[in-house]
Amino acid sequence: MLGRLIRLLNRREARDLRALVAWLCAAAALQGVALALTAPFFIDLLAGRLDAALGWLIAVVAATGTFVAVQAAAQLRAFRAGIQTARALHHRMADHIARLPLGWFSPDRTGMLTALNTAGIPALASYPALLLRPLATAVVTPAAAALALLPVDWRASLAVAVCGASLAVVARAAGARTRRVDAQRHAAADRAAHGVIEFANAQQVLRANGAARRPHELDAALVGAYQVNRRAAGAMLPGIVGFSFALQIAFAAVLGLGVLLILRGGLDPGVFLGVTVVVARLAAIATTGAELGVALRMNAGTVDRIAQVLDTAPLPEPRPATSIPAVDAGRDLVAEFESVSFRYDSTPVLHDVSFQLPARGLTALVGPSGGGKTTVTRLLARFWDVSSGSVRVHGRDVRDIPTDELLRELAIVFQDVYLFDGTVEDNVRLGRPEASEAEVAAAMELAALTDLATDAGRAVRVGAGGALLSGGQKQRISIARAILKAAPITVLDEATAALDPENALVVQRAITTLADRGSVLVIAHQLRTVEAADTILVLDQGRIIDQGTHEQLRKRPGIYADFVRQREAAESWAFR
Amino acid sequence: MISSALRRLVRPVAPLLVAAVAAQALAAAATVVPLIALASYAAAWLRGTAHAASPTPALVAAASAVASVLLTALAGWLSHRADARLQLLLQRQLIAHLARLPLGSLTSRGAGRIKKTVHDDVGNLHYLVAHTILDVTTVVTAPVAALAYLATLDWRVAAVALAPLIAGVHLFMRAMSGSGANFVRYAQAQSAVNAAIVDYVQGVPVVKAFGRARSAQETFARATDAFHDFFSAWSRSTAAVTTASWLVVTPAVTLALFAAAALLLLAAGWSTPDAVLALALAGPAVAAPVAVVGPRLQAIRTAGSAAAAIVEVLDAQAMSWRTGTRQPADAGVEFDGVQFGYLGGPAVLHSITETLPAGSFTALVGPSGSGKSTFASLLARFHDPTGGAVRIGGVDLRELSEEQLYAHVSFVFQETVLLHGSIRDNLTGGREVGQDDVIRAATAAAIHDRVMRLPRGYDSVVGEDAELSGGEAQRVAIARALLRDTPILVLDEATAATDLATQSTIQRALGVLVRGRTVLVIAHRLRTVTAADQILVLDGGRIVESGTHHELLAAAGRYARMWAAQEPTMEGEPSCSAA
């Protein structure tokens, strides 16, 4: 995981992290040497050679002192490197998020990004100091001790090396087993979590059906998770005790062999005891290392998810040097789709779509749901790039226009209105921060934000995501924002406004005003909107199958005539 | 150290946990036995009497090593079983309790937070119950056992073994002093990062579209920098003492210290070779836990805050249901001086007194935010009024049992949620209903043909092999209401306006549904309810007008103005009403 982490860093942070690893390994090796030196000390001490023992003691203290100095220095570097790494990752994330295609942001992914930045990356700040250090100790210290024991007794050295290597294998296997069981537990827990979310979202229905207190599906999922957990209790055991079992066996084997050798006269008891003192400490170090598994796995998961985000390619930005075709000022055009086809995850969505947006006027998109209306508006704003053909704004392919510049030309009223935690006025002004008082007032008035147009109203805080306002109010603020921006092209979807006749009227009035000032592309649902449109584009199964004005289209049998008939019937329907 | 919330939550599995802790304690104590055996052989060798040593200590050592492993396994198994049982128990408790909370207090929590409590917080207890409790047991028992053994050999040796522990604990306490305030600041800096990332990521389409990506990015970068600056300053101020606290108990340092002490003790003739050897073998284990106590404390803290969140939900005020001894006399509905406000907020409805006679058709109209949905939801007892009473057939809703209430009232909402389950279960709500009745209702709601085109018909499962559009889901909801066949029906007119392609079928189905019931319709488009027996005009939480369409137009008040605004081309008469 260290390698994967280093790959994500800039050269300087990567270099610091590598240097840190060298420091930690050096400290661990010094500890191994200091430990090994206690073996000859105890051999002499127990044999009653106190003078010789004093000599070894001085060596032990010197080695330990060096170890302490190096380890302390390494640990301070580890704190610094951890924070530096986390900071660098946060900055890379901040940069990268701004450059990701807008189409990338699904609710799942935004949730993942939030968790990653709030909990995952801060946790990584402690990774070098709290995890990397004991890991280095667990691996390097026994190895160094084994080497340093070589002059004392080659058999002891060999025994430590063999035991260390086999325990490392057991630790890995136990970890892999725990990981598998954990994965099963998480899968069951995720099913239960989905059940919980559904339970929360469907409360009205559940209660009205008298089923809220007996949510069978959810309970089945919970019981499923319980059963997996119960089974896991058994399946976990080899992982939990596997290592300590192996350690006990290794320790017993070393002791047993030593005792056998002593009894056969092949080993001096004093040497055996001196070595045993060291081996007991190495066993303790190995145990500490084996307990790091869970935390290391969590950090590895964080690094993988960060890599997944950072490896997502941003939409290519044109280089500043790109030659810009002359703006086609002669024609009264602001944007144009030319033979645009688009596939999303290899599913064809649009085929050979061509149309033009005039500099002024209302263009309405009509057609059955799933026909590609939303995709058309998103390609215009370059949420994604077309698969073939070209989307042009002011005569330039959108792929040749820097994102900032392209988005200056567009005002978008999104279906999911998102407001920032600030005041009503802050959120309206987002459209054009330098707008005058009068312009803000006019935009709010046109968006029928009369209840919030007062000084007090403008200062109302909207809460995170606009949680403190009603759906209608949020919708109107986002319309006021678009009006204030006064971009050459405005894109909006009537669908969300359709439920509420008051909002529908506001949207319609705004559309008319904006169409006088610039070009408006609207996904239309209301009869009045299409009647007022200069051009209606009828979209079905990803193709433009007809276009014209209301008067022209309504007379031809087809999707548009059906749409008008259905709308008329629906709008005149009444109970009884 | 363990919060009271935590203690209360784990109580049901306390016997299992006590057994697990006992097993783990024995296992930890048993790890000292091989060292004791080794030391006893060492004593024999050092006195030159090795040939006379008995095999018993070796056998005991081997047996206790095996016992230690088995007991560890048993403890782990018990604690994981306890954890599994506790999770299910708490989740069931939480779900049952959430289902009894007033709907408003539930929805104000949001699905995300509910999932966090029921799933994440309960999951956070896992680490504590399954692992940390046992870890702490070992961390406490092993040093105590080692120290006890050393004390039996020689009190001076035991005193030496205590020295690194005392130094380590002292340094650790110093490192932790003032950490409470810093943990609070850490949490604040973290939640600032959270707020910034949420704004940045959720609002990314908007900020990009309005050319504000740079400033949102900078806000986020500032929040993360502030976080790292704080964390950096904090760890700089404590790094030296924290590092010292575990360095002093590292194997190399303790062993060097014991080596020096051993030489001193032997040279002065204060102790014996076998006692100082025991110190070198078992002594380091006395202090070693200091190095691992930090993460354990963190685990206990995490579990404590998870437990607090769980307890907060379990202690939230629930609605009570009666056994329902009184039967409503008829299907008439009365709102008697009803007041309502959300969770201590300002009043949303003010002293509303209205009657919906049995079998009548009532429309509720008014600007958005005037309280229409709240008014209707009181009839569903999604909330209880804060003043006055809602009655069905003369009986206060609070006197009815849950079954009784929902046998009288059914609902068709604006947004229809289909549950993960078969279409049949979605139609019947899990009740036993004959196939003929199901088909009849589905046919009347114009959804039968669509269901028959699904791979498994009525047994198709929503979200697996049944993907229904919004309009289709609404027809399922209408069929559901038809099947429930309650005398009172609350319905949102917007239901009829979502899906253009299916609108006319839905409208026809609604026409069937409202026949012969007491109906309350939340109306958005006035012309849909011109034929209502009475229209209630709600504004600012008050009924400002009521009457039939013609009466209200004649009154030339609020309703007449709304009508004129919505139907600018009409002359005050609906032209297409089929009344």
pLDDT given at position B262: 94
Taking CB atoms and an 8 Å cut-off, how many pairs form between chains A and B?
A: 431
Q: What is the pTM of this model?
A: 0.77
Same domain, yes or no, for A340 and A289? no
Same domain, yes or no, for A117 and A164? yes
* Residue B406 to residue A251, Cβ atoms within 8 A: no
* Residue B406 to residue A210, Cβ atoms within 8 A: yes
- Would you call B561 an interface residue with chain A, using a CB distance cutoff of 8 Å? no
The CATH number for A19's domain is 1.20.1560.10
Domain that holds residue A20: 2-196+228-310
* Residue B263 to residue A237, Cβ atoms within 8 A: no
The CATH number for A408's domain is 3.40.50.300
| Residue A136 burial (C-beta neighbours within 10 Å; 0-12, 13-18, 19+) | buried
pLDDT digit string, tens, across residues A434-460? 889 899 999 998 888 877 878 888 888
Same domain, yes or no, for A179 and A102? yes
Same domain, yes or no, for A261 and A382? no
Task: Assess if residue A220 is contained within a domain.
Answer: no
Q: How far is CA B374 from CA A140, B455, B500, in A?
A: 67, 39, 27
* Residue A574 to residue B369, Cβ atoms within 8 A: no
Alpha helices by DSSP H, B433-502: 435-444, 448-452, 470-484
* Residue B503 to residue A572, Cβ atoms within 8 A: no
Question: CA geometry: angle at A317 spanning A313 and A319, to 5°?
Answer: 135
For helices B503-514 and B435-444, give the axis angle rounded to 10 degrees.
120
Alpha helices by DSSP H, B31-55: 32-46
Same domain, yes or no, for A299 and A337? no
Task: Assess if residue A557 is contained within a domain.
Answer: yes
User: What's the rounded Cα separation, in Å, for the pair A159 and A39?
Assistant: 15
Same domain, yes or no, for A406 and A477? yes
- Would you call B41 an interface residue with chain A, using a CB distance cutoff of 8 Å? yes
Strands B488-492 and A347-358: unpaired
Task: Assess if residue A206 is contained within a domain.
Answer: no
Tens of pLDDT, residue by residue, chain A (576 residues): 788 888 888 888 899 999 999 999 999 999 999 999 999 999 999 888 999 999 999 999 999 999 999 999 999 999 999 999 999 999 999 888 888 887 787 777 877 888 888 888 988 888 888 889 999 999 999 999 999 999 988 988 998 899 989 988 888 888 888 778 877 877 887 778 878 877 877 777 777 766 655 567 788 888 888 888 888 777 777 776 788 888 888 888 888 888 888 888 888 888 888 998 999 899 889 888 877 777 787 788 888 888 988 888 887 777 664 545 545 544 578 899 999 999 887 788 899 999 999 999 999 998 887 788 888 988 998 888 899 999 999 988 988 888 778 888 888 887 667 777 778 888 888 888 888 989 999 999 888 887 787 888 888 887 766 767 777 788 888 889 888 988 899 998 876 555 567 777 777 888 888 898 899 999 887 788 888 899 999 999 899 999 998 888 888 888 888 888 887 887 777 886
Amino acid in position B198: V
Same domain, yes or no, for A417 and A282? no
pLDDT given at position B570: 46
**Number of folded domains in chain A?**
2
Question: CA geometry: angle at B263 spanning B32 and B53, to 5°?
Answer: 45
Instruction: Report ipTM (2 d.p.).
Output: 0.77
Nearest to A209 by CA among B484, B414, B131, B394: B484
User: What's the rounded Cα separation, in Å, for the pair B334 and B330?
Assistant: 11
Task: Assess if residue A413 is contained within a domain.
Answer: yes
Task: Assess if residue A210 is contained within a domain.
Answer: no
Q: Which of A196, A407, A426 to mutate to test the interface with B (most CBs of B within 10 A)?
A: A196
User: What's the rounded Cα separation, in Å, for the pair A22 and B417?
Assistant: 58
User: What's the rounded Cα separation, in Å, for the pair B124 and A189?
Assistant: 12
Find the CB nearest A118 among B110, B193, B402.
B193
User: What's the rounded Cα separation, in Å, for the pair A90 and B189?
Assistant: 14
Q: Which of B107, B138, B419 to mutate to test the interface with A (most CBs of A within 10 A)?
A: B419
* Residue B99 to residue A212, Cβ atoms within 8 A: yes
User: What's the rounded Cα separation, in Å, for the pair A61 and A48?
Assistant: 20
Q: Which tokens go with A300?
A: 């590895």
User: What's the rounded Cα separation, in Å, for the pair A435 and A455?
Assistant: 16
Same domain, yes or no, for A338 and A306? no
Same domain, yes or no, for A158 and A306? yes
pLDDT given at position A19: 94
- Would you call B212 an interface residue with chain A, using a CB distance cutoff of 8 Å? yes
* Residue B62 to residue A575, Cβ atoms within 8 A: no
Same domain, yes or no, for A294 and A368? no
Cβ pair B112, B329 in contact under 8 A: no
Chain A's closest residue to B100, CA to CA, is: A213
Task: Assess if residue A204 is contained within a domain.
Answer: no
* Residue B34 to residue A499, Cβ atoms within 8 A: no
Q: Name, in order, each residue with C-beta under 8 angstroms of B227's C-beta and a sequence gap of 6 or more.
A: A122, B189, B190, B192, B193
Cβ pair A298, A123 in contact under 8 A: yes
Contacts of B217 in chain A (CB under 8 A): 94-95, 97-98
* Residue B111 to residue A500, Cβ atoms within 8 A: no
Same domain, yes or no, for A413 and A270? no
Task: Assess if residue A214 is contained within a domain.
Answer: no
Find the CB nearest B84 among A217, A229, A248.
A229
Find the CB nearest B281 among A280, A383, A410.
A280
The number of beta carbons lying within 10 Å of the beta carbon of residue A60 is: 27
Q: Which tokens go with B321?
A: 């249901």
Task: Assess if residue A202 is contained within a domain.
Answer: no
Find the CB nearest A245 among B69, B197, B260.
B69
Residues of chain B below pLDDT 70: 1-2, 50-53, 211-213, 344, 415, 494-502, 568-579
Same domain, yes or no, for A165 and A94? yes
pLDDT given at position B572: 41
- Would you call B510 an interface residue with chain A, using a CB distance cutoff of 8 Å? yes
Q: Residue for token digits 């026809």?
A: B508
- DSSP summary character for residue B295: H
Measured between CA atoms, how close is A452 to chain B, in angstroms? Answer: 14
Find the CB nearest A201 among B111, B119, B276.
B111
- Would you call B564 an interface residue with chain A, using a CB distance cutoff of 8 Å? no
